[in-house]
A and B are shown apart, each in its own frame.
Chain A
C-alpha cells in the first residue's frame, strides 16, 4: 500500500516538475518574442511606403507648360498622387477627427489651418463626409531645382454631407477653383498654400447625338422604336459568375440562339464590382464582356448591363474608386451598338436600411451623372426591387426600371397607377415565378402554374405595352450563398426560376413567349 502511495507521490512530483518546466519555457519564450517585436528596421526611416491609391477622382491636366522649367512625366505623376492624397487625408480628418497623414501631405504652417477647424468641429460634434469628383489641373510654375510647384485646380466639384451629432444637416455640392503651392519635402509634395478662389465655370459640352434615345415615353434605337422583350441572363453552369474562369463564349452563343428563338430581343447581364477588379478593371474581364456584346450584336440582341453587382460600400470616401470602375467599363463600350442601357445597380433600395438611404441615393445620383458623361450614347437606369422605389431619382435616369415578384393579380392596377405618375419609359426589369414545388417548398408553384403565370403576364404586357425582362433562362444547379443566403429553402426556390430545366428541357413556361 505504502509503495503505491509512494509511487503516486513520485508521479505527482514528477508531473508537476515537468509542468513547471514547460510553463517556465513558455514564459521565457513569450518574453523573448515580445522583446523581439516592435519597430522593425524598415520603419526607422520615414520612407514612403508603396500604397494602393484609395482616392481616384477624375484628374485632367489641362496644361503643364510653365515658365519655370519643363516638367518630367514622373514628377507630374508624383505631384498628382501626393496632391490627391492631401485631399484624401483631409477628408478623412474632417470625417473622423483623425489627422493621421495630414503631417505627410501638408507643411507645418498649413497643418494648423486644418487642425484648428477640426478641433472646433470635434467640440461641436460636426462631422463632414466629403469627396471631390474631379480636378482640372494647370501647372502654373515648376522651379528650376524641381522643389516647388504652383498649380491651379479649376472647377473642383466637391460633394459634402454635414452631420451634427449623426443627424444629416446639409448635403451640398460646391464648385471651386484653388490655387495650390506645393513644396517637395522628405520625398512628399506637400501643400504649403491652398487658396480657394471663385470658380469660373466652364461648361463641358455634351454630345447630344445618341445611339439610343428617349422620346416622350418611348425608347428609340437609331431612330426606330424599340420594345424591350427580354430576359435576365446567366449561363446555366455559372450563375452569378458569368465572367469567371469557366467563361465559355460558345455556351453564351448557343444560349443567345435559344433566347432569339423564343422570341426575345434583349438580355440583361450583371458585372460584379469586385470580380471586375474594383478601381482597376481587369482587361481580361473587359475582353470577355466584349465577346458577349459582340455575340449579342451578331445575333441582333440588345443588352442591358447591370454594373456594381454585390457592391455595398456607398460611403462618400469610396465614391471616386467606383467612378473609376464605371469609367473604365463604360468608356470602353460607349459606342457599342449592342448596348441599350447601363443599369447602375441591381436593387439598391435593399441597401437603404443597412447603408443609409441618403448614402445610397447620393451615390446613385452622382453615378448616373458620371456614366452619362462617360457615355452619352446609351441610356441609364436603376433596377429598383419594387414599385414603391421606382419613382426615386426619376430625373437622373433615362427610363425607370423596377422588379415585381408579388401577386400577379395586383400587378396591372399597380402598374397603371405608377405609370400615370412617371413620364418616362418604364421597364419591368425582373419578374418570374419559381417552379420550386418539392421537399423544401411543398406549397411552391408547379411547372404548370409557372406557365400559367407567364401566360398571364404576357397578356398584361401586351395589353399595357410594357417593356419587360423576365427572370430567367435556366434552372440552376448551384446558387451561391451570397445570393440567397444559407437557408436551403431559400436556395431551393432560387434554383427553379428558369424556363429551361437543369437537363436542358424546355419547361412549359417557355412556350408562352412565342407569339
Chain B
C-alpha cells in the first residue's frame, strides 16, 4: 500500500516536472515569433528574391529551401535572406521553412515564372531525319522555347513552324503545352528534301533538313540484251529492268537490290543480282554452252516483281570430227567450228567419258585451244582392252563403242 502511494506521488511529481519543462519550451518558442514582411509570392526568373522576416527578438535564423533541382540552407542574423541566383533564376516552386535552433517557425512557398521579356532561346529536336514519300510517313519537330535562364516558357507560347518542299512553302502556328510545342509534318508525293525552321517572337531557329526518300517500287518490266542468240558459252547477256518507280512516279533510291531468277530447260534455277542506278538495274549472265531456253523474272525481294520473259539459245555446232591415233590412245576432237564456220573461241568445254562394259571409269574434261582438243589415254592407267567412249562438245554428244586400245 505504502509502495503504491510512493509510486503515485513519484508519478505525479514526474508529470508535474514534465509539464513544467514543456511549458518553458512553449514559452521559449513563443518568444520568437515571426512575420514575413515581403508579401510577394510570384517572381520572374532573374529578379532578385529577398525574403524578409520580422522577428520579435533578434536571433540567428536559418532558411531551408526546397526547389526543383535541390535544397539549400541559408543563414541570417537579421531575418533577411537573399536567394542565390541559381534559385531565383530557375523556374518552379520554391518551398521555404524558417528555422531557429532546429525549430520550424514559418513555412510557405514562392513561385518563380519564366521570364517572357528576355530573348527567347530555342531548342529544337526533329526526327526522324528521313521519311518516305506518299503522305503516310511524317517527321516531328519538337521545339522547347526558353528564356535566357533556360526556363521553358509558359504553356500557350506561340511558335511559328515553317517548312519548304519543292514549290510548297507552308507556315503553321502551334502553342506550347507541357514545356514543348510540336507538330507532325507529313511527306508529299514527291521525293526530295524538306526544310524546316521555327520562330518564337524574334528568335529564329537554324535550318533543319529532312530527306524524303521515294516510297517502295511498283511492278516493272525487264528485257534481255544479247550480242547474238548462239549458245557459245562465251558472250555475256545483259538483263535490264525498266526504270523502277514508286506509286507516285518517283524513281526509287539508288542501290535498291534487284534479283534476277532464270529457269532453264531442265528446270535449274540460275540467279544474278544488281543494284539500281537511277532506277535501272543491269545484271549480267554468261551465255549457256548448249542449246537452251531461259525463263527470266526479276524481284525486289518482298516488294515488287517484273513480268516474265523467255529467250532461246541456238546450238553453235551440229557435228564435230574425232580422230583416233597411236592405237586409239590419242583422241583428237576438232577442229570445232562455230556458226560462221569460224573456229570456236578458246575455252569451249569438251568432255570425254571412258567406260568399260557399262562401268564409268573416268571423266576427262578440258577446254579447246585453236578449235582443237587432244585427249591422251595413257597405258599406265588404262590397261589394254576395249573401251566405250562418249564425247560431248557444246551440247552435242558422240559415242564410240568397243574401241580397242593397245
Contact = CB atoms under 8 A, between A and B. Distances in A.
A181 B180 contact: yes
Interface string A28-71: 00000000000000000000000000000000000000001000
Contacts of B73: 121, 124, 126, 162, 164, 169
B127 A144 contact: yes
A407 interface: no
Contacts of B347: none
A112 B149 CA distance: 12
A290 interface: no
B92 interface: yes
Contacts of A144: 127-128, 138-140, 184
A73 interface: no
A482 interface: no
A414 B125 CA distance: 71
B144 A181 contact: yes
B70 A90 contact: yes
Contacts of B95: 174, 176
A118 interface: yes
Interface in A5-20: none
A198 B180 contact: no
Interface string A339-369: 0000000000000000000000000000000
Contact of A94 (B71, B102, B104, B127): B71
10 contacts: A90-B70, A117-B86, A144-B139, A145-B140, A162-B71, A176-B93, A193-B152, A195-B179, A198-B93, A417-B7
B93 A196 contact: yes
Contacts of A463: none
Contacts of B69: 90, 110, 113-114, 117, 194
A117 B11 contact: no
Contacts of B102: 167-170
If over half of A's interface residues share one DSSP class (helix, strand or loop), that class is named, otherwise mixed; here it is: strand
Interface of B: 3-4, 7, 11, 62, 64, 66-73, 75, 84, 86-87, 90-95, 97, 99, 102, 104, 109, 111, 125, 127-129, 138-140, 142, 144, 150-152, 178-180, 182, 184
A140 B99 contact: no
B128 A195 contact: no
A126 B72 contact: yes
Contacts of B64: 162, 169-170, 172
Contacts of A194: 68-69
Contacts of A68: 140, 182
A147 B70 contact: no
Closest A-B pairs by Cβ, 6 of them:
A145-B127, A144-B140, A113-B69, A140-B178, A196-B68, A196-B92
B87, B94, B180, most chain A CB atoms within 10 A: B180
A213 B62 CA distance: 44
Contacts of B125: 143, 145, 147-148, 183
Contact of B99 (A130, A169, A179): A169
A120 interface: yes
Contact of B68 (A109, A113, A143, A172): A113
B122 to A, nearest CB: 14
Nearest to A175: B95
Contact of A148 (B62, B139, B142): B142
Given A143-B125, A170-B97, A121 B72 contact: yes
A141 B178 contact: yes
A515 interface: no
A172 B104 CA distance: 10
A209 interface: no
B140 A143 contact: yes
Given A164-B73, A179-B179, A413 B127 contact: no
A128 B71 contact: yes
Contacts of A140: 178
Contact of A197 (B92, B127, B138): B92
Contacts of B93: 176, 196-198
A107 to B, nearest CB: 10
Contacts of A162: 64, 71, 73
A168 B150 CA distance: 34
A174 B64 CA distance: 12
Contacts of A160: 66, 71
B127 A147 contact: yes
A152 B68 contact: no
Interface string A307-340: 0000000000000000000000000000000000
A121 B111 CA distance: 22
Contacts of A246: none
Nearest to A140: B178
Nearest to B126: A145
Given A174-B95, A417-B11, 11 more contacts: A112-B86, A116-B86, A120-B72, A141-B182, A145-B128, A148-B142, A150-B179, A167-B102, A169-B62, A181-B179, A193-B179
Nearest to A93: B70
Contacts of A152: 178
A68 B139 CA distance: 11
Nearest to B73: A126
A143, A164, A413, most chain B CB atoms within 10 A: A143
B11, B92, B127, most chain A CB atoms within 10 A: B92
Nearest to B67: A196
Contacts of B68: 113, 178, 194-196
Interface string A111-153: 0111011101100101010100000000011011111101010
A129 B293 CA distance: 84
Contact of A117 (B71, B97, B104, B127): B71
A290 B120 CA distance: 62
Contacts of A118: 70
Contacts of A143: 125, 127, 140, 142, 182
Nearest to A194: B68
Contacts of A176: 66, 93, 95
Interface in A275-327: none
A117 B129 CA distance: 38
A112, A113, A114, most chain B CB atoms within 10 A: A113
A94 B72 CA distance: 9
Contact of B91 (A120, A150, A167, A195): A195
A146 B125 CA distance: 11
B37 to A, nearest CB: 23
B86 A113 contact: yes
Contacts of B70: 90, 94, 113-114, 117-118, 128
Contacts of A124: 72-73, 75
B115 to A, nearest CB: 14
A456 B64 CA distance: 56
A388 to B, nearest CB: 13
A257 B242 CA distance: 90
Interface string A173-212: 0101011010100000000111111100000000000000
A113 B150 CA distance: 11
Interface in A195-245: 195-198
A339 B395 CA distance: 92
B92 A195 contact: yes
Given A126-B73, A145-B140, A196-B93, A150 B99 contact: no
Nearest to A69: B140
B99 A170 contact: yes
A235 B306 CA distance: 80
A167 B91 CA distance: 31
Nearest to B4: A413
A86 B384 CA distance: 92
B72 to A, nearest CB: 5
A141 B99 contact: no
B125 to A, nearest CB: 5
Contacts of A197: 92-93
Contacts of B109: 198
A413 B180 contact: no
